[in-house]
Structure 1
């Protein structure tokens, strides 16, 4: 059908004439030449503008009331009124002159208005004619337009219907491919088909078509089956640690467009499984039922405490449930780690984007962190609730805290071991481990308090503050055994072992304080006397010393088997025990040494400068040595026999160390004073030798085996032959290596002339005073004192004009020079 021709607006000659007539009826404005050529008279307004009174009337903001008020207030109202009347007359004359001057122009305009009015009277008829022509034109155009609009609508409907049919047919075809896939099914491909079908259905708005809706119900049922199968594949892959299966399941969810919700669901599933396992493990009602109770005997009471007869079974049931809980927590965390590992390794085809980036944003916690945090919070909350609500759980986990701690440690170690794979992050961070151990700190605190209470209560029972009794050896042994038991329970747990050792350290400090309190009761002159028989106060101090010595030895033996880091926790406590043990007998040992020292000092009352056969043939010991022997025998029988272990025991104790120190000091003191003896004859040397033998025998039999004293004994053995060496032989004698330089220097004074005074003689000191000074000085300071005497001797020799010195002089200088060089 041909399209209608475009209508044109046709004007009849009558219409044209009508418009032209209307246009000619309006006169054109008069030409400037038609107006009067006379110049305009001056306008009175110009005069008003310069007038101070009338200029106000030209202002747009003129106010008659303000003008009148000003005129009245100034008292010039009459003159102002006369001035205004004159202005009005002037304006009227000017208007009249203007009208007369423009009279011809006004008449011409009036004639033009009359002509225009006549022309306008015929204009309505012409307008009506024009309107009828326009109506006719509109009727000619409306029919083609309506036909065109109807045809366009029909075409659009046909196209839309065809498009719906085309996409519906494609959806049915895709649905058929999805529903009739051959086994084994390709889950990822089916998920991709489902996603394509769903997008086609939603984007093309195919809802409402019965066949399509029926097909979509089948597709949705197939999608539900796909989700179930994908979930089963993921669960199987996690259970078998097969990352390919986990990836296949995740690929299905990705193709379905549901990867993030699926991952969130799996994470929530693992979190819920972990929290549920904790709640089930601490369900006291179920524990009581498992222990054979119900509500009868052995059942659980309202307070969470099993009734009589069911505690043991309930405890075993609780530990068994905790073991199962640890297994479930391990499964939940490792499952989340495997899921996270697959998401980290696998990439989306085509885009090569990691699956993890689809479900995780930078700055968010990882999947394992979310699962672990939820588990730790549930675990801490349940344990805290059980601690306050169930006295049974509190008691079991407090007494068996090492077992609970071991479970937690094993869980953490297993998770770290099973997730320690190169190229992947472990399931736990150090902070995560600390959070889990912190969750059971409430029981750790109770366990440590119980450990401290058990030991401190026992110490309070054997060392009462009010009484003055000394515990028995069996009580001390039981205390040590209890400490050892506390250590053995936590030996394999480093962190817990350190905490337990801290509590044991506090208990040992308490023991030292109680022993020190008992020791202070027994101090005084009675505890320090060494001339009579042993006193009760001394026996009490001996018992304290031996008890503390036993504690120190056996606890040190236990500590020696522990790691160095943890064993340091007891160092201060053991040091306190050692100090108190020493303090309990130190005054006695000081008195014994002072007594032996006073005997040695009497050496200087003995005449070692006697010559003759009588002195040589005298085989008896010197008087001072006999007194020293008697003192040593007395000390052994009355004191040391009660402090030192039996001869069969080779263990080194505190008392053994103190006796050895005293014996060494006795030998050193004897050698020192023997070197100070002057004059010393050959007979005196023999007597000195016999005294050395008697000293060696007295010390070895009554104090300590001299062979085990080391350097002091070697010095004693070396000093004996040195006495009989010629001065010329001393310089190269190897015996000097075992003697202190000060001993050799002092001995050489006995070989020198009388004018070579020793420091003892030069400073007019007693042997005791000089010995005390030697105790406080080093070898270099002693040499300075000797050097001063040598300088005096040199001055005396040179003042006499002699050129030869005693043979001991250069030897002493040589020894002193070597000593100075060694120090430098």
Structure 2
């Protein structure tokens, strides 16, 4: 433990550190040093401090002297300021004495003046109240025709304003007047309420206006209007519940029969109750509800004339409340009474008509204010069950028709049509209902079509065209005719309702009827496919006819119709008369036959161009067959030639017939100029030119080793002119190679012409 010689020693000494720290704790050094040693250290430290202080004083004695001088000057300034403050306090006390006393006097006078003013105002109010009270008493008692409630209401309004700003309780001088005012107010309000009720019932604008003015002056206009609306709703609810309080007589009300006899209601009791129910509903809507709506509308009109605020939609609000109320009462009564429920659901269109008539009657008045839109909640609980029954009434007959082994007849369809007409007729009361019912009619039509499709005969028996019609074909004809009968009868019903049935509903039924034509065409499709196959087989036989290869006409024989053409004409005519005429939907038959006619002409033209060899006599005979082809397909065309002229294949037939008499050069020139009279494809003309070519130039099917039938099938699958011309180019190129290989001097005269046509496929 060294001696303490300077500041650093004090700071570094473990014992003295505890005196330098603010939160010094008991050091372990204290336990090591004795008391004498601790005192010694403290003495040394104090000596060091004294020495340091002396050094600091000697070093900074000028600054210390300057600070001491300024302290003395500051004390002088403070003493002067103290004197000034004392003087200021004295002045403030004197000024306070001069202000407080006048203020207190003024305050006292002000309070007295205020009290005098209040007293004067109270006396003036009391005087005015007494005057108005006497005038009110006079207005209530002196009029010979009864109280003048408008003037009385004005007086009451002014009295209430006088009493509203001040507390008059405890003033005996006005106690009697206050009591009289309350009595008169109640009397005026009661009279005004009665006047308003009478005015609304008699639609007297003057009375209603008087009541409105009185209620406005009394400040209870909103409450009076609310009370009137509530009263109107209560009246409608009362009438509605009474109107629907109709039920079948109970067993106690029915006179019992003798022993062993059933207890039954008296004849006609249910019908009479139903008649009564509808009469009650008619009165409810057309009398009670209509009257209340008219009264509320009159009240709103008067309120708007008096510029009352907050009543712009009074009629709309009342209509909304009354329809909600009706929906509630109708639902409650229908749930409580099965009779009411059955009546409203079973004759829903009648109920809807009553409701719609009310809305229409309210809206079509010239002075109508509200829109009176239909609230679907009033009718929805009865509409859905009715529509369910309606669709059942339409679909059940269809299911019944096809439930047995016997096909339905026209009587069954007539029964269905009567149901359709009935359902559509009763639905005309509302466009929305008519549309839904029309949709149900469409479902019935589609179901009938589905049942017919399920009953069709679709095996080979239905498509044969060789023998007489089979039972299966007769069944299909019967079903198709039933479909057509259903279509015509339904269209007749819709036509009779034209102008009444909504356009959307008529469109829905028309769309459903289109399904009938689809089913009829599906019935005809396999039959006509067999007809097409038979026609193709007959046309193929032209290649076996030797007359096309004869060089000259037999002696005394005129050029006439070929055997295959006569067979074709006879077959088509027999098919039409035997298999197609029994179908009554000839429009659908004609539509389906268009494809048969087109196919027949296409095959004839194709195979006519494939005939080889073809002599001049054969060409003349072929031209005659072209004419006979028109005769052959005419039975299939609705409207004869008019039906044919609409088809491209027919125009090709006519165009090719005009080309056949021409020379090959002229024929090719016509094709190059514009397709051979504007309608013959170059590939067909090229096939026809092969008929006069030498044996070294085989036809395309001969070159490929195909039969004529296979070539025809290939052409059905390859309709592109480029592909067909490419097929014919192969034999031409091989012929060209053969001629060059044999070093022949020239080509056949037809070859250049044929190459010109074949080159069209390269463009």
| TM-score normalised per structure 1 | 0.65
Q: CA deviation at 1:596?
A: 1.5
Paired position in structure 2 for 1:7: none
Paired position in structure 2 for 1:711: 646
Paired position in structure 1 for 2:483: 548
Paired position in structure 1 for 2:618: 684
- In the alignment, is the contact (CA less than 8 A) between 2:609 and 2:688 conserved in 1? yes
Cα deviation code 1:343-401 (max 9, x no counterpart): 56753xxxxxx521xx79xxxxx544542343233322333334344343334333322
Larger mean Cα displacement after TM superposition, 478-487 or 183-192: 183-192
- In the alignment, is the contact (CA less than 8 A) between 1:542 and 1:585 conserved in 2? no
Cα deviation code 1:4-36 (max 9, x no counterpart): xxxxxxxxxxxxxxxxxxxxxxxxxxxxxxxxx
- In the alignment, is the contact (CA less than 8 A) between 1:699 and 1:705 conserved in 2? no
Paired position in structure 2 for 1:252: 214
Q: Give ranges in structure 2 of 5+ residues lacking alignment.
A: 1-111, 256-263
Match of 1:331 among 291, 310, 320: 291
Give yes or no for the alignment of 1:265 onto 2:220: no
After TM superposition, list the pairs within 5 Å mapping 1:311-460 onto structure 2: 311-327=270-286, 328-340=288-300, 343=303, 346-347=306-307, 355-356=309-310, 367-418=314-365, 426-428=370-372, 433=374, 436-460=375-399
Match of 2:563 among 623, 628, 632: 623
Mapped partners of 2:144, 2:555: distance in 1: 128
Q: CA deviation at 1:257?
A: 0.6
Paired position in structure 2 for 1:48: none
Give the 3 Å change call, closer, same or farther, for CA 719–410 of structure 1 in structure 2: farther
Match of 2:461 among 523, 526, 540: 526
Q: CA deviation at 1:166?
A: 1.9
Give the 3 Å change call, closer, same or farther, for CA 705–604 of structure 1 in structure 2: farther
Cα deviation code 1:688-725 (max 9, x no counterpart): 23323433333334775531233344443443333223
Larger mean Cα displacement after TM superposition, 440-449 or 386-395: 386-395
After TM superposition, list the pairs within 5 Å mapping 1:119-268 onto structure 2: 166-175=127-136, 178-179=139-140, 188-200=150-162, 203=166, 204-205=168-169, 209-210=175-176, 213-214=179-180, 217-218=183-184, 220-233=186-199, 236=202, 239=203, 249-268=211-230
Q: CA deviation at 1:261?
A: 0.3
- 1:252 match: secondary structure: helix
Give yes or no for the alignment of 1:786 onto 2:725: yes
Match of 1:653 among 566, 578, 587: 587
Mapped partners of 1:742, 1:491: distance in 2: 62
Mapped partners of 1:496, 1:485: distance in 2: 13
Bigger CA radius of gyration:
1
Give yes or no for the alignment of 1:639 onto 2:579: yes
Q: Give ranges in structure 1 of 5+ residues lacking alignment.
A: 1-150, 289-293, 298-304, 348-353, 361-365, 646-650
Task: State how many pairs are aligned.
Answer: 624
- In the alignment, is the contact (CA less than 8 A) between 1:529 and 1:591 conserved in 2? yes
Give the 3 Å change call, closer, same or farther, for CA 534–165 of structure 1 in structure 2: closer
Give yes or no for the alignment of 1:696 onto 2:630: yes
- In the alignment, is the contact (CA less than 8 A) between 1:306 and 1:314 conserved in 2? no
Mapped partners of 1:812, 1:377: distance in 2: 84
Paired position in structure 2 for 1:598: 537
Paired position in structure 2 for 1:515: 452
Give the 3 Å change call, closer, same or farther, for CA 218–723 of structure 1 in structure 2: same
Mapped partners of 1:378, 1:625: distance in 2: 82
Paired position in structure 1 for 2:75: none
Give the 3 Å change call, closer, same or farther, for CA 369–517 of structure 1 in structure 2: same
After TM superposition, list the pairs within 5 Å mapping 1:471-620 onto structure 2: 471-491=408-428, 493-519=430-456, 522-556=457-491, 558=493, 561=498, 563-570=502-509, 573-607=512-546, 608-614=548-554, 617-620=557-560
- In the alignment, is the contact (CA less than 8 A) between 1:191 and 1:226 conserved in 2? no
Paired position in structure 2 for 1:470: 407
Larger mean Cα displacement after TM superposition, 485-494 or 199-208: 199-208
Give the 3 Å change call, closer, same or farther, for CA 271–693 of structure 1 in structure 2: same
Cα deviation code 1:197-247 (max 9, x no counterpart): 3444565446764466456544543443244334544555xx37x6x8755
Q: CA deviation at 1:595?
A: 1.0
Match of 1:772 among 703, 708, 713: 713
Mapped partners of 1:376, 1:441: distance in 2: 12
Query: Pairwise CA RMSD of aligned residues?
Result: 4.6
Cα deviation code 1:488-522 (max 9, x no counterpart): 33245321122212322332333233222322xx3
Cα deviation code 1:36-79 (max 9, x no counterpart): xxxxxxxxxxxxxxxxxxxxxxxxxxxxxxxxxxxxxxxxxxxx
Q: CA deviation at 1:642?
A: 2.4
After TM superposition, list the pairs within 5 Å mapping 1:734-745 onto structure 2: 736-737=677-678, 739=680, 743=684
- 2:561 match: secondary structure: coil
- 1:695 match: secondary structure: helix
- 1:786 match: secondary structure: helix
Mapped partners of 1:740, 1:402: distance in 2: 64
Q: CA deviation at 1:594?
A: 1.1
Cα deviation code 1:754-787 (max 9, x no counterpart): 7777654565443333333433444xx2333315
- 1:711 match: secondary structure: coil
Larger mean Cα displacement after TM superposition, 754-763 or 656-665: 754-763
Q: CA deviation at 1:295?
A: 5.7
- In the alignment, is the contact (CA less than 8 A) between 2:150 and 2:213 conserved in 1? yes
Q: CA deviation at 1:321?
A: 2.2
| TM-score normalised per structure 2 | 0.69
Mapped partners of 2:339, 2:468: distance in 1: 59
- In the alignment, is the contact (CA less than 8 A) between 1:194 and 1:223 conserved in 2? no
Cα deviation code 1:424-450 (max 9, x no counterpart): 7x4446xxx3xx223322322222222
Mapped partners of 1:709, 1:345: distance in 2: 77
- 2:582 match: secondary structure: helix
Give the 3 Å change call, closer, same or farther, for CA 749–246 of structure 1 in structure 2: farther
Give the 3 Å change call, closer, same or farther, for CA 773–323 of structure 1 in structure 2: farther
Mapped partners of 2:357, 2:688: distance in 1: 72
